[in-house]
Structure 1
Amino acid sequence: MRSTPAPLTAAALTVAVLAVSSSAPLIAFAAAPALAVAFWRNGLAFVALTPITAGPRRFELVTLRSRSGVFAVLAGLALALHFATWMPSVQLGSVATATALVATQPVWQGLIAAVQGRRPSTAGWVGIGLAVAGAAWATGIDVGVSAQAVLADLLALVGAMAAAVYTALGERARTRLSTTTYTWVCYGTCAALLLVVCVLGRVQLHGYDERTWAAILALVVGAQLLGHSMFNYALHRTSATTVSVLILLEVPGAALLAWAWLGQTPRAAALPGLGLLVAGVAVVVLGDARVRRRAATASLADGADPEDR
């Protein structure tokens, strides 16, 4: 594993959180079908990364035949499912609720870790319970609003599950692939699948006004290249669970942007549920951090470098 300074990883994660916070408001702002926006943000990011992958990083292309390459492709498929469900949920419902529900990703990440034999701590299970209860509270409020709002909530939850799978697969792929190569494969796979879906579904892929194209380009540069790519970078030094938890910070950021820019004020009745959801994910974070500190202490006591374990 390459030696990456902790401050550099922290900076990458900070940039990523700030960048992805703009994602949901931009999606809601864009006057284009959500699936089309999802295709363009991944397709254009793939094009932007191609000169680097085919140039300075071309020697890594031979490693795509390995297990890491397979994991990268599978991660791209999971990312496509994430975008195909979450992005429509933003346009069908509210930015704040959709962002909060997709932030349950750490909960699903913890369940994936449990299936892999890495059972969450007691605090982790408590946090999962709180987050699920909060999601039920918040989405229950939408039942009395409209069927469209309920559909938006369900799509956001599926998007959270797909994001957890995407991050878990990315953690495996990043063991051998650089950030650029992994991201290029992942975005390319995602864009190809979304293009097929858009063509089969006869989704309009062009003819948008200037403000919509500006929003799409802002998504590519911000949420995609600076957001997702920086999270992918951090996966080489940070666990998938930790990365998923940090994405929680997107919730207040997106809600504030939607309120200030789009005039979307979260429904008061849903706020306690959203608060409980955020608290649950925070408990998952703290529990994971405590387990990692204990593991690091045990490693030092054994005379081993925690980074090599």
Structure 2
Amino acid sequence: MEQPKIHPYIPILIGVISVSLSAIFVKLANADSGVIAFYRMLFSVIIMSPVFFWKYTSELKKLTSRDWIFSSIAGVFLAFHFILWFESLNYTSVASSTVLVTLQPLFAFVGTYFFFREKITNKTILAGAIAIAGSVLISWGDFQLSGSAFYGDMLALIACALITAYLLFGQDVRKRLSLVTYTMIVYTVSTITLFLYVLIKGESFGPYPTIDWIWFILLAIIPNLLGHTLFNWSIKYVSTNVVSIAILLEPIGAAVLAIFIFKEYLVATQIIGGLVVILGIVLFAVDEKKFFKFFSKKA
């Protein structure tokens, strides 16, 4: 295998920090959730457009009517994922929201089990039970703090389900298209959906202070484009499981940043519940033999 000029763990670490900043930027912005989501996707599309039109437009000929329908549905689900997740940050803490959104692999398993009849194992059942117990602990602790925090937790969970639906609808189309083309289609549909949502709700597209425009642009550049691009680059050199586990560090990074920026200090139920959720998802995601074989080679 071709060896990279830099160790893959460095881009992975930068990627984790990049996606961890997503919730921070959202919370710093003063606009409504739908508006923040709209500008995040709009600027992502604008930034991607030169590369897409220069190299990838010919791939659009490969798409069938079914591909267009599924890609469009995926884009709509992605739009509402962002709306609900961003809205959850108005009610609950960065730590609780990001941990609950991290439950996505388990939602994905439920979807693939019912739609694709993927096999269920005892390990999967155990992992799911552990992660669910952790999420219940977080939600129970937040409910003790305030009803609004619990409401925010529920929004984050629904947002997690929506991002799973987005992935399920897109996985078949993704097999026939490059990452750039597929992402461009879905992000464009998502942008249009968010534009209509903001218009119907009567929210304001502007004007906003200069600092808010900076947050909108940074949301597009850092979590959307930089973070996920680095993860996709790293998969060429390391196990997908390693990247999957690294992404689970996002709630930890976001929680640490929230302590310093928003003074959101964690309570015991958030710490314990968050660790339990991450433990469950690690157990679900990792193929133990391949994981330990990978690290033994690197040692």
What is the rounded CA distance, in whole Å, between the counterparts of 2:273 and 2:187 in structure 1?
Answer: 33
CA deviation digits over 1:8-59, x for unaligned, max 9?
A: 9x67755543321110111111111111110000011112212222222121
What is the rounded CA distance, in whole Å, between the counterparts of 1:6 and 1:17 in structure 2?
Answer: 22
Match of 1:78 in 2: 77
Following TM superposition, by how much is the alpha carbon of 1:5 offset from its aligned partner in structure 2, in angstroms?
6.3
CA deviation digits over 1:149-208, x for unaligned, max 9?
A: 121000000111111222233332221111111111111111111111111111122122
Is the 1:19–1:222 Cα contact (8 Å) retained in structure 2? yes
Following TM superposition, by how much is the alpha carbon of 1:67 offset from its aligned partner in structure 2, in angstroms?
4.3
CA deviation digits over 1:64-99, x for unaligned, max 9?
A: 335444433222122112101111111221100000
Mapped pair 1:122 → 2:118? no
Match of 1:47 in 2: 46
Is the 1:36–1:204 Cα contact (8 Å) retained in structure 2? yes
Match of 1:188 in 2: 188
Q: Single out whichever of 266-275 and 85-94 deviates more from structure 2.
A: 266-275
Matching residue's letter, 2:80: L
Mapped pair 1:175 → 2:172? no
Following TM superposition, by how much is the alpha carbon of 1:256 offset from its aligned partner in structure 2, in angstroms?
1.1
Match of 1:304 in 2: none
Is the 1:27–1:91 Cα contact (8 Å) retained in structure 2? no
Matching residue's letter, 2:253: G
What is the rounded CA distance, in whole Å, between the counterparts of 2:290 and 2:131 in structure 1?
Answer: 21
Match of 1:281 in 2: 281
Match of 1:302 in 2: none
CA deviation digits over 1:220-272, x for unaligned, max 9?
A: 10011123455677899999998766532211111111112222112233322
Q: Share of identical aligned residues, percent?
A: 28
Mapped pair 1:21 → 2:46? no
Following TM superposition, by how much is the alpha carbon of 1:122 offset from its aligned partner in structure 2, in angstroms?
1.6
Supply the RMSD in Å over aligned alpha carbons. Answer: 2.9
Match of 1:261 in 2: 261
Match of 2:295 in 1: none
Aligned pairs (5 A) from 1:194-273? 194-229=194-229, 246-273=246-273
**Length-normalised TM-score, structure 1:** 0.83
Match of 1:60 in 2: 59
What is the rounded CA distance, in whole Å, between the counterparts of 2:242 and 2:201 in structure 1?
Answer: 36
What is the rounded CA distance, in whole Å, between the counterparts of 1:14 and 1:121 in structure 2?
Answer: 31
What is the rounded CA distance, in whole Å, between the counterparts of 1:35 and 1:244 in structure 2?
Answer: 28
Report the count of equivalent residues: 288
Q: Which runs of 5+ in 1 are unaligned?
A: 294-309
Q: Which runs of 5+ in 2 are unaligned?
A: 292-299
Q: Mark the CA change 1:232 to 1:65 in structure 2 (over 3 Å): closer, same or farther.
A: farther
What is the rounded CA distance, in whole Å, between the counterparts of 1:261 and 1:134 in structure 2?
Answer: 25
Match of 1:303 in 2: none
